[in-house]
């Protein structure tokens, strides 16, 4: 399957809140312009929705988004394209996503370093 996303996604475990509902939903991934919320809700495609995402140690970000797709039977949820974040909070959201992308790079560099370290150990044993 071809990935048509414009922005890279970061795997995460955040909380999303819908107005009038007490229990949070789990956000499985995020990007600058989208997210996927795990839920059995069947909100119609192309519907504009409001929700809030809680960023740990930072606060809650109010977001307007459009439902772009539903998940699969194995992973039900809502794929949402973010269409508006309050201008003051947009900077906060962008910093958070940038930090997650740096963490992804750090994980990749760590994995590569371990692989290189293993190669050195194997060549020294030969």
With a cut of 70, which residues of the chain have pLDDT below it?
1-5, 119-126
Asked if residue 113 belongs to a domain, the reply is yes
Asked if residue 3 belongs to a domain, the reply is no
Q: What is the CATH number of the domain that holds 82?
A: 2.40.10.220
- Predicted local confidence at residue 10, as pLDDT: 87
Cα(24)–Cα(52) distance, integer angstroms: 10
Instruction: Count how many residues are written for the chain.
Output: 126
Beta bridge partners of 78: 37, 70
Asked if residue 64 belongs to a domain, the reply is yes
Asked if residue 4 belongs to a domain, the reply is no
**What is residue 44's three-state secondary structure?**
coil
Cα(13)–Cα(81) distance, integer angstroms: 18
- Predicted local confidence at residue 124, as pLDDT: 54
Cα three-residue angle 6-8-10, rounded to 5 degrees: 145
Number of domains in the chain: 1
Asked if residue 14 belongs to a domain, the reply is yes
Asked if residue 71 belongs to a domain, the reply is yes
- Predicted local confidence at residue 122, as pLDDT: 57
Asked if residue 2 belongs to a domain, the reply is no
List the domain range (segments joined by +) for residue 66: 10-125
Asked if residue 92 belongs to a domain, the reply is yes
Sorted by sequence, the CB contacts under 8 Å of residue 29 that are 6+ apart come out as: 9, 10, 11, 12, 35, 36
Cα(17)–Cα(34) distance, integer angstroms: 16
- Predicted local confidence at residue 123, as pLDDT: 53
For 121, other C-beta atoms within 10 Å of its C-beta total 9
Cα(47)–Cα(30) distance, integer angstroms: 19
């Amino acid at each position: 399957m071809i990935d048509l996303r414009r922005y890279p996604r970061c795997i995460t475990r955040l909380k999303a809140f819908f107005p009038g509902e007490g229990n949070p939903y789990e956000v499985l991934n995020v990007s600058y312009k989208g997210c996927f919320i795990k839920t059995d809700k069947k909100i119609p495609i192309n519907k504009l929705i409001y929700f809030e995402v809680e960023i740990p140690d930072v606060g809650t970000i109010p977001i307007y988004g459009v439902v772009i797709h539903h998940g699969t039977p194995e992973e039900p949820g809502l794929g949402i394209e973010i269409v508006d974040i309050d201008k003051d909070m947009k900077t906060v959201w962008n910093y958070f996503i940038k930090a997650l992308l740096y963490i992804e790079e750090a994980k990749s560099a760590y994995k590569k370093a371990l692989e290189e370290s293993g190669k050195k150990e194997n060549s020294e044993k030969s």
